Amino acid sequence: MSNIKFSALGVLLFLFVSLVAFPWHNGEAGQRDVIQIHPAAIPGQAIVNLEAAKSVHDLAGDIDGRVLKSDPCKKNIYLISFPRDYTFDEIRDALKHNSGVISVRPNYRVALPEVNQGSDIFPDQSNPIYLEGSSPSAYYEQQSEGNVGSDSANMLATGRDVVVGIIDNGVEYYHPLFIYIDSITSDTTLDSTFADMGYDYVDDDSSAAEETGDAYGHGTFVTGIIRLVAPNCRVIPYRAFDDDGVGSSFDVSSAIYQAIEDGVDVLNMSFGLYSSDTSIADAVGEAYEAGIAMVASCGNDNTATPFYPASYTGVIAVSAIDSLDYPADFSNHGAYIDYCAPGVNVYSSLAGEYKWGIWSGTSFAAPQVTGICALILEWKPAYSSLQVDSLIRKTADTSLAWGSFTPHDSSYGYGRADAYEVALCLRRGDVDNSGTIDSSDIVYLNSYLTTSGPPPVPILKLGDVNCSGIINTLDVAYLINYLNSGGPAPCCGE
């Protein structure tokens, strides 16, 4: 197997999904939504939101339909079927006059961006042995890791105990990256990667394991990238896409609601569609209110057409660049882009016979920013999603390999996300590496400058408290002013 290619189904889906767009309407309980049918709606299905006293089975029976699914977190939201002899408009009109019916919505198709792109995976057929921190070298030493500075950042932050939800097509739980092998007994067990085994909304079971198909490996690949940037974070996989990389707005919104219920800190969403969908929009809105930092890919069709959920308020939208910092030729662009990250020839974990490989797409740029969010929340767990976004923006790099640009840019957003600068911002002033900035750091820094004491650890720049470019007695004075007189906090690389 030299490569795996997505089927022509993805191209057809893209043509469907690109035809019509309608604005985000944030429905509220007690209001009835009237939504026009969309060409990418799944035939014979409707999402209904009912008041608690209303029987969904009676409602479905009235239209000769049946209940297909219920949202486990939103007890009054259901997916129902109806005879295909009827259009959605006819069913909506028939249902919306029933007392207790809050809204009736189509169930839209949603896809992983690489389905539309017809993306190639190039497995590493050497099938290298996994050794944490060193092998495969193509994983730990790849260009993308250097471009976002995660290798240096991990000396200061690793995302420890931060919970990352991943809505995708599942994960291969027993990939070498996620298991522990006892050196004495050779027993294989899951390590601490997974905070929870997650849920499979496609097959309606409690195992979000990947299944063989045209999108096989996507979720495992995304998870591996997040673990590269934030190696000590914990993840919860939510399988909302089938083996070919196609899902529905009902399953996606259900996964988002479950992520809220599970208390995830960060949510990676490497999927989307070219029209706003009310069901997903409402779920994203609730996740934002819950303080979850959300990151989404912007799509792979080299278009400025808004891509959702990346375009929603409160979601960090990520475009892809290549190893020379130029926009990837497939990456979408537009006013909604927040940051860019490497997305061409990324190396990560794969499901299947060959455990590692190379893939390109905005799906693989987004999880690098997701990992950066985890680094932030390790040290600032009380940060809101807005504060997380603000810190990434403050430290984003606008001086790229080819030169500098002025943000906001339609391809680069506010800049290339920079894990190293984020980590420095979080830890600057903690010169003794104790985990807190206190009076001992003043003593430590003064000793380094006046009596040849040990330098700031593990990175010398932690002692440049005022970001002057050098470490001197002004940094000691800066720390004293901050700790004793309420002066400004250690600088953030301004």
Q: What is the pLDDT of residues 418-469, one digit of tens each?
A: 999 999 999 999 999 999 999 999 999 999 999 999 999 999 999 999 999 9
- Catalytic-role residue among 119, 218, 338, 360: 218
The sign of the dihedral angle between the CA atoms of 460, 466, 470, 476 is: negative
- Quote the crossing angle between the two packed helices 439-450 and 473-485, to the nearest 10°: 170
Residue 196 and residue 54: Cα distance in Å, rounded?
33
Residue 169 structure tokens: 């097509």
State residue 52's pLDDT score: 82
Provide, for the chain, the percentages of residues in helix, strand and coil under a 3-state DSSP scheme, each rounded to the nearest 5.
30, 20, 50
118 — pLDDT class (breaks 50, 70, 90) = low
Residue 162 and residue 14: Cα distance in Å, rounded?
35
Residue 270 contacts residue 364 (beta carbons within 8 Å): yes
Annotated active-site residue 218? The verdict is yes
The sign of the dihedral angle between the CA atoms of 192, 193, 199, 203 is: negative
**Model confidence over 287-321: pLDDT tens digits?**
999 999 999 999 999 999 999 999 999 999 999 99
| φ, ψ dihedrals at 260, nearest 5° | -65, -45
State residue 376's pLDDT score: 98
β-strands 399-400, 179-181: how paired?
A: unpaired
Annotated active-site residue 363? The verdict is yes
State residue 17's pLDDT score: 38
Full-prediction pTM beyond 0.85? yes
Say if residue 374's pLDDT is above 70: yes
State residue 162's pLDDT score: 98
494 — pLDDT class (breaks 50, 70, 90) = low
333 — pLDDT class (breaks 50, 70, 90) = very high
Residue 19 contacts residue 109 (beta carbons within 8 Å): no
38 — pLDDT class (breaks 50, 70, 90) = very low
- Catalytic-role residue among 168, 282, 430, 464: 168
Query: Whose structure tokens read 């029209």?
Result: 275
CB atoms within 10 A of CB 9: 14
Q: Which residues of 279-300 are buried (b: 16+ CB within 10 A; e: fewer)?
A: bbbbbbbbbbeebbbbbbbbbb
Residue 211 and residue 122: Cα distance in Å, rounded?
18
- Catalytic-role residue among 144, 150, 348, 363: 363
Say if residue 35's pLDDT is above 90: no
Say if residue 188's pLDDT is above 90: no
State residue 366's pLDDT score: 98
**Model confidence over 62-106: pLDDT tens digits?**
899 999 999 989 889 999 999 988 999 999 999 988 888 999 999
Strand partners, 190: 179
Annotated active-site residue 97? The verdict is no
State residue 153's pLDDT score: 96
**CA gyration radius, the chain:** 24
State residue 7's pLDDT score: 41
State residue 50's pLDDT score: 94
Query: Whose structure tokens read 């050794």?
Result: 131
